[in-house]
Structure 1
Amino acid sequence: MATDDEYLYPLSQFRKRIAYANAFGTDFVVPVGTGVFLHKNSDFIHTLKKNELNQSFSMLVGVFTTENLYTDGYHTSSKTKNIIDDENSQDELLNMSIRLDSLGWTKKVFDVRKTLPSIPSPKSVISGIIRPLFNGNQMEERLRSKDLLDIFSTGNSLVFPAGHNMIVALSKNNFHSVLNKGGRPIMDHLALEIINNVLEIQD
């Protein structure tokens, strides 16, 4: 579906496209590669927006944008076609990843490990490199899709992968409200982002 212009064209008509995902193996249902459609063989460039990373909100570990290469019509731009031709066009997931990226996105990656039960991996204990938080400012400003997948797919601890409910602060009852309260800052961030976007449209 996401490789067809019948789907891509309506999606391209939104003023902004924003995707959220959990990093470091914390989301069993929608891992980071699925959430922000990264692919192990994709060279599509993602630009790191370091100015949007705030130390006071350490759960947000990466903000990336992709260039909008999609033309205003039911076809893919020549630039995107060239990218797809350079890759393995027979790989449907790779094709989907590139075509979605070509619409122009803001992708936000979150680290919810501190809110989930976890134990350090033996390798991390031995090497002494356990870091509970990830500093996105350490990354290069331009990375390929496959680089981001490699960076954000694994962590340095064994985490119970319940981030899928955590990232949306699922609160369908008192038990879930307490269990997933660690995700409330992410939902507050999303609410503020929506309000700011609405105000931009009104201006």
Structure 2
Amino acid sequence: MTTTHPRPTSTTRWTRLGGALLALGTVQFLVLHVIVQNAWTRPRYSWWTNYISDLGAVHCAPVLGNDVCSPLHAGMNTAFIAQGVLLIAGVVLTADVWSAKGNRRVWQGMVGVAGASWIVVGLVPEDVDLTVHSIGALPIFLLGNAALVAAGASASTRNRPTARATALVLGVVGLLGFTLTAFAAANPVALSASASRNA
């Protein structure tokens, strides 16, 4: 007796592609982050004292109290833009995977805005226009992480409990990280003292 398996529908194929694009966005971002940060020689890039935007700065000069010089800044800015494009494409292609219950369009829209923000961050580095760059980055930290929390708490994700729990945890951790970053930016003296103790 042979068992037949239904062929993937066009919708299923697009959904799988969307999931692959979301995963690719994360992987390419992490890989390029490591490559670009390791290209720094003087000074060395620090996860503790530098901002991630420092990796995309196009000039060697002080920025927000840090001596910034990123020789592979084009690679990091490409990663920022690619992350935004892949995030938007991924959320669109996987939009109908989730249950129609709940506020799925709300959190999906929030993710889309965060994706557009990644593109702005890559197109306008911090040392080109800090105001535009900062305004562009804010939705990534706020809306992006809030979207994960909303997705994790939404009835629309109850059909996929693993993804639901993961989104909730990552969203909470992301918002906590943003809070700590904002505190560090507002208290540079405390940050410098802490960095000295950990040196």
Instruction: Name the one with the larger helix percent.
Output: 2
Same fold (TM over 0.5): no
Q: Which has the larger radius of gyration?
A: 2
Instruction: Decide which structure has greater strand share.
Output: 1
Q: Which TM-score band (shorter chain)?
A: under 0.3
TM-score using structure 2 length: 0.27
